[in-house]
């Protein structure tokens, strides 16, 4: 694939990833209706599972770049996770802030492993 096509693909697929993140986050947040950032948690855990799955497949370099970096990179959000954790601590919800960190890391690692296992079955 030419460099120009890869860049265009990253822009397009990254845009799709960010819009998907927005929709998933808002849908989960509306359904749960709690101050804990369940939408971001859902996005990051599903993104970790997807990335674990993708990295376990023998995909061509450009395909891995487009799906892994562009889509999953735009879909998941480390900065929002940190901002929401900071917001919880500013609101003196320290248990929720630490839970957000611990649950995100533990479930994220589990999701990567699950994604890799599922890819092994394909």
Which residues fall in the annotated binding site? 73, 76
Three-class DSSP category at 97: helix
Sequence ranges of the binding site for Na(+): 73, 76
Q: Any residues with CB less than 8 A from the CB of 99 and at least 6 apart, and which?
A: 36
Q: Whole-angstrom Cα distance, residue 14 to residue 78?
A: 15
């Amino acid at each position: 694939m030419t460099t120009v096509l890869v860049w265009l693909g990253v822009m397009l697929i990254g845009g799709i990833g960010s819009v998907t993140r927005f929709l998933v986050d808002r849908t989960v947040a509306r359904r749960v209706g709690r101050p804990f950032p369940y939408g971001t948690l859902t996005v990051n855990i599903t993104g970790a599972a997807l990335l674990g799955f993708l990295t376990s497949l023998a995909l061509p370099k450009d395909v891995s770049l487009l799906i892994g970096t562009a889509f999953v990179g735009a879909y998941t959000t480390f900065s929002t996770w940190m901002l929401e954790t900071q917001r919880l601590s500013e609101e003196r919800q320290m248990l929720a802030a630490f839970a957000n960190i611990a649950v995100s890391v533990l479930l994220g690692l589990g999701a990567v492993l699950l994604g890799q296992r599922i890819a092994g079955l394909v």
